[in-house]
Amino acid sequence: MPFYWIPVADAPFPHAMRRNHTCPFALENVRRHFREFGWTPGQDTYRELYANPDFQRRARDCSAHQGSWLVALPAVESVLTCTPASTAPDEIELLAKNSPVISALNNSDRNLALSLLDSLDPIRIFRTHDGTWLSNGQHRICAARIAGVSHIPVWWKFGVRPPDGAKPAQPTPLSPG
């Protein structure tokens, strides 16, 4: 399962972020905003909320949105471009932890970079049986949207076609590094 750079615009909007009450996009906060308890917002609702300046401002203060994506992403890219697609996730994580580029980052930026290459909890996007796209790493995708980055590294399952705008993040025998 190699990493791909996926356009943030192609990533699903949150579907059940529950753990962080400081994020305005967390499920309970969205329900509270609409006074619709027991309701689950759809992708169109989230699309509207992400365009709302008040939600964007509040999201910048979210504890899950720490670290600069503009600093962390080049550091992540420096690890991935030197790591073949066949490299095991735990090896990638170890390389990231020992990377001089990532080690030189401040704590927030380093934690963000390492969270993107975490072997147990990378960002993953997958289809459900009914064809709906869902994700693991919803807070990181949320933070990337708020930061305005164009692409995020996503751990993609072999045999599942990524979105059209996706580009391999790691060298493969068929793609130059």
The ranges assigned to domains in the chain are 3-168
Residue 54 CB neighbour total at 10 angstroms: 10
Residue 124 backbone dihedrals phi, psi, to 5 degrees? -130, 140
Amino acid at position 58, single letter: R
Q: Which range (19-23, 105-109, 113-117, 168-172) has the least confidence?
A: 19-23
pTM for this prediction: 0.86
The residue with greater pLDDT, 170 or 63, is: 170
- Please give the average per-residue pLDDT across 109-117, as a whole number: 96
Q: What is the pLDDT of residue 19?
A: 62
- Please give the average per-residue pLDDT across 53-82, as a whole number: 90
Q: 31: Cβ–Cβ under 8 A, 6 or more apart, which residues?
A: 37, 38, 39, 41
Q: What is the pLDDT of residue 149?
A: 95
User: Looking up tokens 């060298």, which residue turns up?
Assistant: 171
CB 156 within 8 A of CB 162: yes
Percent of the chain with pLDDT over 90: 46
